[in-house]
Amino acid sequence: MTAEQQAGTGGTGAADRSGAAASGGIGMSVGRLEAFSDGVLAIVITLHILEIHVPDPAEHHGSLGSALADQWPQYVAYLVSFLVVGIIWLNHHATFNLLRRTDHTMRVLNLVLLLPVTVLPWPTALLAEYTKDGTPGDQRIAVIVYGLTSTAMALTFNLLWRYLLRHPELHKPEVTTELLAVRNHRYNLGLAVYPVATAIGLLYVPLFLGLMLALAFLYLLPTPDVRT
């Protein structure tokens, strides 16, 4: 190799190292982690609609309208879970938008968060099936399973969030302690509201569905620091 080629190779290597440093270091980019998570969330949110079935004429002797009306628990359960996954997606985007890079622990915690999210279609189906036709005991079990799954999502999200708080070296330069404090207050609420809603739901399942819908719409509102 000539001196000129060696110099060129050295210059290219220096440029690559400079680019890696500018992007926050060697490792998986924030964009790639978000793309993977977005794909998982998109699949989960789509799977929920598969639980709403076309009424079987052989099982319903009335009109199609009455058969569709009888399926109201499926519609409500679908809406609740659609909004829950949507909230996870919005908060996930808002959280990772604070980062300039990720590390191995952050990526593992992200996978842990996706675990209860991917489970959600199952408790959604349980809730839809047993809200109307199940025994009181069956209804309570369905509420507990859904509530535990929702609580697990809130818990794993907060584990990821608290790791982010403890590692400012991952943050973008413009991230401030005031911004983090606003987000922290909001995310902490999820650790309490889902267990409380579940406990109330043990008394009356439709009330549980109403509470979960109300919480979903509340969490759809942006935090004061979110502008785009």
Q: Cβ neighbours of residue 172 under 8 Å, at least 6 residues apart?
A: 98, 99, 100
* Per-residue confidence (pLDDT) for residue 67, from 0 to 100: 82
* Per-residue confidence (pLDDT) for residue 24, from 0 to 100: 46
**What is the CB neighbour count within 10 angstroms for residue 39?**
10
**What is the CB neighbour count within 10 angstroms for residue 172?**
12
What's the burial of 2, exposed, middle or buried (CB within 10 Å: 0-12/13-18/19+)? exposed
Residue-wise pLDDT for 131-147, tens only, equals 888 899 999 999 999 99
Mean pLDDT of the chain: 84
* Per-residue confidence (pLDDT) for residue 98, from 0 to 100: 93
Return d(Cα 37, Cα 27) in angstroms, integer.
17
* Per-residue confidence (pLDDT) for residue 224, from 0 to 100: 63
Annotate 101-168 with three-state secondary structure.
Answer: CCCHHHHHHHHHHHHHHHHCHHHHHHHHHHHHHCCHHHHHHHHHHHHHHHHHHHHHHHHHHHHHHHCH
Residue with tokens 């099982």, as numbered in its chain = 59
Average pLDDT over residues 57-77: 82
Lowest mean pLDDT among 22-31, 38-47, 173-182: 22-31
